[in-house]
Structure 1
Amino acid sequence: MISKFEKIALGMCLGIGLVFGSVSQPTAHAKTTQAVTWYNQWQKDYVGGKTQKYVRNNNGSGATTVVSEGQGYGMLASVLAAKKGANTHTTFNAFYRYYRAHRISSQDPLMCWQQTMRSGHLTSTGSQRNSATDGDLDIAYALILADKQWGSKTVNYKAAAKNLLTVIKKDEINTTTYLPKEGNWATSSYDASKLRTSDLMVGYFKTFATYTKDSTWTKVATHSQTAIKKLSARHSTGLFPDFIFAKGSSISLTAAKAYQFESATDDQVGYNACRVPWRLAQGYLLAKDSASKAALKKQLTFYNKKTKITVVYTLTGKAVNNYENTAFTAPINMAARTLKDTSLANKTKKQLPTTIEKRNYYSATLQVVTALE
């Protein structure tokens, strides 16, 4: 999983460590180097643009497309890499400029959820000008990290973060359940009850509450904890579905059916809920959240029983496919590392590609972001 040069360097470090009776520090350094190496590979393969940088998600086929989800991942990855010593400030600012150029309007800082290359320009038309909550949440958190990493004298990340959070609260949070909606387009009570379970980011919400001193975010965090506890209790596996209906201030949950939201896996662990272990681990990392930790431990108990992690599970734990995908493995690996589940961390580490996959935006990007956490 590391390059030939890194293997040599690691061997030297291990030798020194053995002389002094400890190898913990060199091992930690090797992990950091690996994450930044992956970040650099990912940037070369998936990042386009010059003064405005964007994350391509079309996997090399058809017209170039960009989504706010990917832009959020890109901004998050670049500032996390900076925290590990990489020189990414210029890259982050270029990501930030692209985000600003593709806001819904100069007065509305939510990002248009998709852009397509048309006549040499990336533009959004029609429903592409709606927002996607998960992308906006990552962008807001990345701006907070940028403010802490570089300050806001040259570029006012702090003002941008607070402005974005004000509009996320107004347009992307359900005012009855206080849970995240899918986007600003979810204005009817039916659409507003649709919950993407991987949007339950308690660590973010508690961070937003502290950063803005706005108690609404504390309420969003508390209601998200309630949803997490109820989702975890639905099955012995503790697995969350891609989507579910959540209604009322007490958070009443109703299962979705296949294709009711997005795809055949709406009520299974599919390509949305595969991110849940990462988001729950963030809740523990950022806020020592007990609800996130308990739900995550239950899921990791399930995954520990598997010989390998495969793609898509029913909520009762049946594997739907027998093949692997990094989008499922990387979040579990990050979660296992976070909770110091050594056995599962080692097992899933062996499943991760040693170099970042090409033409596989989602899997490659999740591998990079979770490695940098």
Structure 2
Amino acid sequence: MSTIEKRYNKWRSNFVKTWGDMTYIDYNQKHEQEPSNAATCSEAVGYGMLISVLMKNQRDFDGFLRWFLHFRNKNDLCAWQQIKVHGSYKNTGDGGENSATDGDIDIATALFYASHVWGRSGDGRVDYRQEGIRLAKAIWEKDINHYTYMPTLGDWVNIKPADGHRHSGSSGSHGHGQQGVFAMGGGASAFKHGDEDKHAGATRPSDFILAGFLTFYHEDVERSQQWARVMDSIIATVQHNLQLHPNTGLIADFLRVARNGHYEPHPQKILESENDKDFNWNSCRVPWRLSVYYLLTHDPRVLPTLQAESNFFGSQKEIFAGYHLDGKRISGRNYNDLSYTAPASICMWVTNNPNLKKVQQQMSDLESDKSYFGDSIQLLCLLQAQNPRGW
């Protein structure tokens, strides 16, 4: 049995659970999530589907798919969090039915991968590709900002341009504007900059899943042009943020449209914590996501960021769980976590960093404490380094 198979079996034993004919990832075994009875989230469903198709486990994949279909919201996206109540499961109140963009992207990507591996579900009822297209269409309509071509935080965000009228992600057609980051509809000038609009002008770099958008470009042909522009906008944002911190290449957990028209870190809390401006629990995944895209494309536009991140990680005595963008460790983060070391490792592997073995040793020394987040990310880094194409 290979190392990857052993890790997969351990991961599956620890986290994969069933409810009837549905499968889900138990992401709250330590009751650290809010609310305390939270059971799973769309991010976990996406990870489960990606891992299952990469490991060619159709039974689990179809179970995760049934979970997604059961909790698909009115916008055809995955409701972001489910809770356990008296042995049953339902969406969390107060916004649990809303989407979170990264989960939607990973689920759609996994469906397209599955269409190449199996074609249809095991019972023959579901055409994976058609479900992938349906979800990609919903992502375009509700999870993408049609003014900046950047991912939004989810379908709950209303885009409010300077004319004062609110627009959701499904706003109508837009005239072609300047090329680059703001390819349509007026770009950054479309937004007000008041605090009440901070979510409309925000993006989360953990949603910069370029390999997923590349898959959409090839599979969701009706929107290929839009997906190409989304990729260009994300890459331009990554390039701009490298200019802000060229010595580390680190990017913040959340970015917001600044007055200069670029997405940049916002000095205050945008959504989660005072560390929204730092390389924290969201953006720790960026080196992994960029690395998988680079393995597929060798796109020279993302290589400088990967090299800067690789050099930064390679220069550290050990990789800690959180940094300010200048490379200083976040106060109190004198510990390690697989969700940081695994993405750093694949980034260093892609860029042939001579200090890779040091980081790999640090990663191997991190015995799993049954952490869904770190264990899932580590397994996906291993699987996608081996098979970035997905099938």
TM-score, normalization: structure 1?
Answer: 0.85
Looking at secondary structure, tell me which structure has more helix per residue: 1
Structure 1 251/365 Cα, relative in aligned 2: closer, same or farther at 3 Å?
farther
Structure 1 344/186 Cα, relative in aligned 2: closer, same or farther at 3 Å?
farther
Q: 2:149 matched to 1:178?
A: yes
Distance in 2, matches of 1:47 and 1:257, equals 38
Q: Deviations over 1:126-151 (max 9, x none)?
A: 30000000000000111111111112
Structure 1 273/355 Cα, relative in aligned 2: closer, same or farther at 3 Å?
closer
Q: What is the aligned counterpart of 2:310 among 300, 303, 307?
A: 300
Q: What is the aligned counterpart of 1:362 among 361, 373, 376?
A: 373
Q: Deviations over 1:30-54 (max 9, x none)?
A: xxx2122111101111111052110
Structure 1 244/355 Cα, relative in aligned 2: closer, same or farther at 3 Å?
closer
Q: Deviations over 1:95-131 (max 9, x none)?
A: 11111111004xx320000000012111013300000
Letter paired with 2:27: N
Q: What is the aligned counterpart of 1:207 among 211, 215, 230?
A: 215
Distance in 2, matches of 1:76 and 1:238, equals 27
Q: Deviations over 1:209-247 (max 9, x none)?
A: 111122110111111111111011111221101111036
CA contact (8 A) 2:239 2:305 kept: yes
Q: 2:309 matched to 1:272?
A: no
Distance in 2, matches of 1:246 and 1:284, equals 26
- Corresponding residue number in structure 1 for 2:362: 351
Distance in 2, matches of 1:286 and 1:273, equals 21
Task: Indicate the percent of aligned positions where both proteins have the same amino acid.
Answer: 29
Unaligned runs of 5+ in 2: 161-196, 385-391
Unaligned runs of 5+ in 1: 1-5, 7-32, 83-87
Give, in angstroms, the shift of residue 356 of structure 1.
6.4
Aligned length: 333
- Corresponding residue number in structure 2 for 1:47: 16
Distance in 2, matches of 1:289 and 1:60, equals 40
Distance in 1, matches of 2:111 and 2:351, equals 26
Give, in angstroms, the shift of residue 251 of structure 1.
5.0
Cα RMSD for the two superposed structures: 1.9
TM-score, normalization: structure 2?
Answer: 0.81
Please show how residues 131-142 of structure 1 align to structure 2 within 5 Å.
Answer: 131-142=99-110
* More displaced 10-residue stretch of structure 1: 254-263 or 67-76: 254-263
* More displaced 10-residue stretch of structure 1: 296-305 or 251-260: 251-260
- Corresponding residue number in structure 2 for 1:80: 54
Distance in 1, matches of 2:140 and 2:302, equals 22
Give, in angstroms, the shift of residue 355 of structure 1.
8.3
- Corresponding residue number in structure 1 for 2:83: 116
Give, in angstroms, the shift of residue 69 of structure 1.
0.4
- Report runs of 4+ in structure 1 exceeding 6 Å deviation: none
Q: 1:134 is paired with a residue of what secondary structure?
A: helix
* More displaced 10-residue stretch of structure 1: 135-144 or 227-236: 227-236
Q: What is the aligned counterpart of 2:335 among 317, 323, 327?
A: 323
Give, in angstroms, the shift of residue 64 of structure 1.
4.7
Letter paired with 1:167: A
